Amino acid sequence: MNNNNEQLQRLITLALQEDIGTGDYSTLCCIEPEKKGKAVLKIKQDCILAGVEIAKQIFNQVEPTNVFHQYKNDGDKVVFGDIAFEVEASIHTILKCERLVLNIMQRMSGIATLTNVYAEKIKGCKTKLLDTRKTTPNFRLLEKEAVKIGGGTNHRFGLYDMIMLKDNHIDYCGGIEKAIDKAWNYVQEYHLNIKIEVETRSYDDVKQVCEYGMGKVDRIMLDNFEPSAIAEALKLINNQFETEESGGLNLDNIETYAATGVDFISVGALIHQAKSVDLSLKAVII
């Protein structure tokens, strides 16, 4: 997260502004500003924990003098009843941060937990598990971090760190060869250090990329290919390009797809089908 620290700070600032608005009147009306307090993050559901480092960042950003006792780390398997951390700070700070900390950690832990289930299914295969851009607007940074914590690998972060020529790009451009040419020339002209990936929808598409994209294309995406079709395509590709399968993957069939030997499998469900886990931040009365 160090490379994205500025973005994280901005995310936290905007999220707190959204929640607090003109003031946390529930706290302001009944808690003296100088009063100190303690709270613990309780695990209420077995999961892969994610977001502890973000919680620490939130408290540090609001009150740098807080005392944060960390008992569990991101990526830990935790069970009902575990304590992830304890924080000592102004009660105003604790109550301001409570919902943001919980929203982030519950969401991230849900994604990390589901990702871990998928990752365990293909453990031992050479295939890497990728996420997608099917993320919550303005929350992608943390959702993709949760995928990594759960044992997955991040695909491109956005539209700027890889050229991916998908079906619509190819159709609008006028065909695979034309799209590859334009993408390659663009990368050379602007000196971009990014990969080019081309989506294929049939064996003939794969053949066309293999024949025309050598030295230009880095990865071939096999979109909605059945395992037998992947095997045929991989023979044709013959390790000359990276390969990625996308579309129609789930927990029931991912092992079969990974067994084909494809380099990457991208699964949008890691993020958009993950369910938040149950956590709570409870006051400790001193």
Confirm whether 144 is a catalytic residue. no
Q: Which of 38, 42, 56, 99 is catalytic?
A: 99
DSSP codes joined into one string, 86-152: EEEEEHHHHHHHHHHHHHHHHHHHHHHHHHHHHHHHTTTSSPEEE--S---TT-HHHHHHHHHHTT-
Q: Pick from 123, 112, 132, 106: which is nearest to 249 by CA?
A: 132
d(C-alpha 156, C-alpha 286), whole Å: 47
223, 243: one domain: yes
- The single-letter DSSP state of residue 161 is S
pLDDT at position 1 is 64
| Judgement on whether residues 262 and 280 belong to the same structural domain of the protein | no
Q: Is 275 a catalytic residue?
A: no
**Same domain (yes/no): 268, 279:** no
Whether 134 is catalytic is yes
Is 107 in the active site? no
CATH of the domain at 222: 3.20.20.70
pLDDT for 285: 81
The pLDDT score that the predictor gives to residue 217 is 98
Walk along the chain (286 residues) and give the pLDDT tens digit of each residue. 666 889 999 999 999 999 999 999 999 999 999 999 999 999 999 999 999 999 999 999 999 999 999 999 999 999 999 999 999 999 999 999 999 999 999 999 999 999 999 999 999 999 999 999 999 999 999 999 999 999 999 999 999 999 999 999 999 999 999 999 999 999 999 999 999 999 999 999 999 999 999 999 999 999 999 999 999 999 999 999 999 999 989 999 999 999 999 999 999 999 999 999 999 999 998 6
Q: Which of 42, 121, 166, 207 is catalytic?
A: 166
Catalytic, out of 98, 131, 145, 199: 199
Q: Are residues 25 and 157 in the same domain?
A: no
Residue 211 φ/ψ region, left for φ over 0, alpha for ψ in the -120 to 50 degree band, beta for the rest: alpha
Return the CATH number at 81. 3.90.1170.20
Annotated active-site residue in 133, 134, 195, 207: 134
166 and 79 in one domain? no
Phi-psi region of 261 (alpha: psi -120 to 50; beta: other; left: phi over 0): left
| Total domains present in the chain | 2
**How far is it, in rounded angstroms, from Cα 139 to Cα 83?**
25
Is there a catalytic annotation at residue 133? no
Q: Are residues 85 and 155 in the same domain?
A: no
Q: Are residues 125 and 95 in the same domain?
A: no
Out of 24, 86, 223, 278, the active site residue is 223
Full residue range of the structural domain in which residue 152 is found: 120-272
Q: What is the CA radius of gyration of the chain?
A: 23
Say if residue 100 is in the same domain as residue 128: no
Q: What pLDDT is attached to residue 2? A: 64
Eight-state DSSP code of residue 230: H
